[in-house]
Each structure stands twice: as structure tokens, then as C-alpha cells.
Structure 1
Amino acid sequence: MIAWLRFLVTSAMFGLVIAFLVPLQFIFLKTGWGPRALTPIVFHRIVRRLLGFRIRVHGEMTKGRPLLLTANHSSWTDIVILGSLHEMAFIAKAEVANWPLFGILAKLQRTVFVEREKRGKTHHQASEIATRLAGGDAMVLFAEGTTSDGNRVLPFKTSLFGAAQVAIRDTGVETVTVQPVAIAYTRVHGIPMGRVHRPLVAWPGDVPLGPSLIGLLRDGAVDVDVWFGETVVIDGKSDRKALARTMEERVRAMVRSSLMGRDLVNPAAKSDEAILKDAKKL
């Protein structure tokens, strides 16, 4: 009974937030007037509180620009979590643009939509991302290409890592900073989540969005770790496949650290020998 009462209250507040901020952001984008970059942060922070997320941040998002953030992806809530922390824009699969409500929200946050399966469009899509990077936007790439079950990190796809090199080649920037970001959902109502309860948040692609949203609005109170890892600065000669492997390793190490309950200063740190080996690859 209490859970459903919470659902009714949070749903009503969620609707009010959307009714107020969505038209406001639409006006900001159309006219160029107002804090169009600030509005999404405010929106995500309110929604984060309504959904009951408590965030523990490890490390800092680098101030270096152009900046490509490469993150793991287990839920639509990843966007709420990251979007509430800093000004950033997201790279999403093309079908998101057509989703009810969430498609509109994504467009208002200036999301870049990509068709990952159409190789013929890869260069055009990378060019659009490159333009945004060169313009100073911190772009978030969910490099697995899909959502996982939250218990592991899937292999990173390499194609859109090329956007960083396109930015160097076509827009005149000399280097691009790439930073790994890890998101791990760890507790629900203060109890370690484990594999059994992680589906409360995890949203694999074959699960409908509606039940996921209803479940969080009803139950809430989830702890989440966000890690900002060691950056790599690339230039025009860097190998995107080696870059993808390095980012994948660092994100996986950070996620593993949270899920195993370890509080390490830098779980993605490597030996000097490993760093030199990576440097030669890049």
C-alpha cells in the first residue's frame, strides 16, 4: 500500500516537472535564449530525487576538451544519473528518437542519434559527433552498443570511437580527451543488491520501458556508484581499436570494484609496464 502511494505521489510530481521544464527547454532551444544547457541538469536532478537514487561519485570528470566519455550501459536511468552530475550530451540509438515522451526528452537534450547497424552511415554519424566534440560538448558514448543486465560489462564496439579521430582530422583540433565512466547500481533500501534484485534497475533491450519506470517510481531508494577514470589523450595517429580495448578494461575494472564492494582509489590503475604498452598502441 505504501509503495503504491509513493508511486502515485512521485508520478504526479514527475508529470508536473515534465509539464513545466519541457516547454521551457523547447523555447530555449528554438530562440537561443536562456540556460539551455542548465535546464537538462535541473530536470535530471529532480527526476533523480523522485526515483530515489543516491549517488556516490569517485574521481572527477576531466575539464579537458574536446571530451568523449565512454560508459557502460545497463539502464535508461544511466542518462538520469550522468545528466544530473554535469553538462553533457548523449549518443543514442536511432529508435530512441521515436519513443513516446523519452524521444522528446532526448531531442531536447540535443542527443545525437545513430544507426549502429548501418555501416554506410558510420562516417556521417561520426562526423556529426566530431562537430559536437569540436564545439566543446562533452559527448557520452555508451560503447557496448546495447544495455546489459548490470552484472557485467559487454565488449565495447569500436566504430564510433572513430568520431574522436574525425574531430581531429576534419575540425582542426589537435587532440581529443577520452575518459572512461562506470555506472554500478549497488544497493536497494540499503541492502546489497546482488544479481537477484538488480533487475529493479537493469533494463536489457527486450524488457518494456513502462514496467521499469513504474517499478522505480514505486520502490526507489537505490544506491549507485559513478566512477570517472583515467583519461587518454589521443591524436590523429591513435588506434581506435586499441583505444576501445583500453576504455573497456578500465570501465570493467571500476564496475567490478563496486559490485564486489571494494573501495579502491583507482581500480583501473595499471602497472607502469602496462601503461607504456598502451601508450605504444595509441
Structure 2
Amino acid sequence: MIARIRIVLALIFVGMATLVLVPLQLVAMKTGLWRETVILRLWHRVVLRGLGIRVHVTGQPAAQRPLLIVANHISWTDIPVLGAITDVRFIAKADMQTWPLVGFLSSLQRTVYIERERRRKSGDQAGEIALRLVNGEAMVLFAEGTTSDGNMMLPFKSTLFGAATMAVAEGAAKEVAIQPVAIAYTRLHGMPLGRRFRPLASWIGDQDLASHARDLIASGAMDVEVRFGEPVIFAAGDNRKQAARIVEERVRAQFAAALREPEGSRPKP
């Protein structure tokens, strides 16, 4: 009964906020009266509040531009988690653009849609991301290409790291900062999730988005850690595959550290 009440209240809260914020975002996009990311960050925070997700941040987003943020990927909730922290744009699978409501909301964030299965288009897709980077937008790349179960990371795909190569080509940018970021869901109601229960946060395979959101809300307060690492500087002549390996190693180390010693278990300085 309590879970049902929680679900209803969360839906009402997020729904009403969305009805107010979407028109404001459309005005911002058409007129430029205020930065588009102001409304976006507010909406992401509303979603997190509705889901009952608390975010703990270690480190900070790099101030340098161009900036490519590379993170592991566990759930669709990773998007509001990062979107609530800093001004970013996302790189998402092309089929998301056709999803009811989700596609519309993603477009309001000026998401870059990619088709990972069509390798012939990878150059064009990397080129669009490179253009956004050169224009000063911080782009988020979930380099695994899909979601994991929250206990382990999948190997990074290096293809879209080519955006960094394109950004520095022909002097468009002297260098690109590639920042490793680890996301780890660590606690439920203040208690460590552990290997058995971490998949509660994950969104894997063909699981329905609505049912996953419902289950998350019903489960109650969940904690997620976001750890920002030191950027890897990518310059002309650098190898994208090598850069991808270095970034993956750093994300893995940060991810393992967050699971091993989550926020709240570390002694206060």
C-alpha cells in the first residue's frame, strides 16, 4: 500500500513539474532568453526527487572546453543523475528518438542520436559530436554502448572517441579534455546494496521503461555515487584507441572504489 502511494505521489509530482517546465524549455530554445540548461538541470532534479535517488559527488566536472565526459552506464537514471549535476548534452541510441514522450523530452535536451550498428555512419556521427564539442558543449558518452548490471563494467567501444580526433583536426581545437566518470548505485534505504541487490538499479535488455521506473519508486530511497576523475588530454596525433583504454581503466578504478567503499562508509576528514 505504501509503495502504491509513493508511486502515485511521484508520478503526480514529476508530471506537474514537467507540464510547467516543458513550455519554459521551449521558450528558452526558441528565444534564448535564458540558458537552456537551467530548465534541464531543474527537471533532472525533479525526476531524481520523484524516484527517491540521492546523488553523492566526488570530484567535479572539468571546466576545460572542449569536454567529452565518458562514463559507464547502468540505467536510464544515469541521465538525470549527470544532468542534475552539470550542464551537459547526451549521446543516445537512435531508437530512443522514436519512443513516446521519452523521444520528445530527449530532443528538448538537444541529444545527439547515433546508430551504433551502422558502422558506415560512425564518421558522420563522430563529426556531429565533434562539432558540438568545438562549440563548447560538454558531451556525455556512455562508452559501453549498453547498460550493465551494476556489479561490473563492460568493455568500452572506442569508435565515438573519434569525435576527439575530429575536434582537433585542422586546428578546430588544440586539444580535447576527456573526463572519466564512474557511476555506482550503492545503497538502498541507507544500507549497502551488495552484489545481489545492485541489479535493482540496472535497466538491462528489453525491460520496459515504465515498469522499471515503477519498481524503482516502489523500492524507496536509493543512493548513487558519481566520481569525476582527472581529464585525459587528447591532442593532435594522439590515438583514439589508446585514449579509450586509458579512460576505461580510470573509470573501472573509480567504479570499483565506489562499490568497495561507498559514500557514508568513509570516515569524515
Q: Deviations over 1:206-231 (max 9, x none)?
A: 21111111112222300111000121
The answer to whether the 8 Å contact 1:11/1:217 transfers is no
Q: Determine the C-alpha separation between the residues in 2 that align with 1:34 and 1:64.
A: 22
Which contiguous aligned blocks of 4+ residues in structure 1 show a shift greater than 6 angstroms? none
SS at structure 2 position matched to 1:202? coil
Whether the 8 Å CA contact 2:151–2:199 is kept in 1: the answer is no
Alignment of 1:60-71 (within 5 A): 60-71=60-71
Match of 2:207 in 1: 207
How far, CA to CA, are the matches of 1:251 and 1:222 in structure 2? 21
Which residue number in structure 1 is paired with residue 84 of structure 2?
84
Q: Measure, in 2, the Cα distance between the counterparts of 1:128 and 1:190.
A: 41
Q: How does 1:49-64 map to 2 (within 5 A)?
A: 49-64=49-64
**Distance in 2 separating the partners of 1:139 and 1:87:** 9
Tell me what 2:6 maps to.
Answer: 6
Shift of 1:53: 1.3
1:172–1:17 distance in 2 versus 1, CA, 3 Å: same
* 2: CA distance, partners of 1:170 / 1:128: 16
Query: 1:117-266, aligned counterparts within 5 Å?
Result: 117-170=117-170, 172-261=172-261
Give the TM-score of the pair, scaled to structure 2.
0.94
Task: Report the more deviating stretch, 155-164 or 230-239.
Answer: 230-239
1:127–1:166 Cα contact (<8 Å) kept? yes
CA shift, 1:170, in A, is 4.9
What is the CA–CA distance in structure 1 between the aligned matches of 2:220 and 2:63, rounded to whole Å?
32
Correspondence 1:75 to 2:75:
yes
Q: Displacement, 1:199?
A: 2.6
- How do 1:89-100 and structure 2 match up within 5 A? 89-100=89-100
Give the Cα separation in 2 of the matches to 1:20 and 1:123.
38
Change (3 A) 1:58 1:52: same
Distance, in Å, in 2 between the alignment partners of 1:175 and 1:220 is 43
Shift of 1:28: 1.8
CA contact (8 A) 2:72 2:143 kept: yes
Distance in 2 (alpha carbons) for counterparts of 1:27 and 1:207: 34
More moved, 153-162 vs 45-54: 45-54
Aligned to 1:18: 18
Deviation of the 1:171 alpha carbon: 6.1
1:191 positional shift: 1.2
- 1:172–1:232 CA distance, 2 compared to 1 (3 A): same
DSSP 3-state at the match of 1:216? helix
Stretch deviating more after TM superposition (110-119 or 22-31): 22-31
Inter-partner Cα distance in structure 2 for 1:23 and 1:262: 38
Query: 2: distance between equivalents of 1:36 and 1:220?
Result: 31
Q: Which moved more, 1:220-229 or 1:29-38?
A: 29-38
Secondary structure of the corresponding residue to residue 61 of structure 1: coil
State how far apart, in whole Å, the 2-side matches of 1:220 and 1:240 are. Answer: 41
Question: How far apart, in 2, do the equivalents of 1:145 and 1:203 lie?
Answer: 13
Deviates more, 1:200-209 or 1:27-36: 27-36
Opposite residue 228 of structure 1, the aligned amino acid is F
Check conservation: 1:130, 1:171, Cα contact below 8 A: no
Q: Is residue 147–residue 204 contact of structure 1 (8 Å, CA) maintained in 2?
A: yes
How far the C-alpha of 1:26 sits from its partner, in A, is: 1.9
Q: Specify every segment of 5 or more residues in structure 2 that has no aligned partner in the other structure, as ranges.
A: 264-269
Q: For residue 262 of structure 1, report the CA deviation from its aligned partner.
A: 6.0
Q: Which amino acid aligns with 1:162?
A: G
How much identity, in percent, do the aligned residues show? 50
Give how far 1:88 is off: 0.4
- Equivalences for 1:8-47 in 2 at 5 Å? 8-47=8-47
State the alpha-carbon separation in 2 of the partners of residues 122 and 233 from structure 1. 22
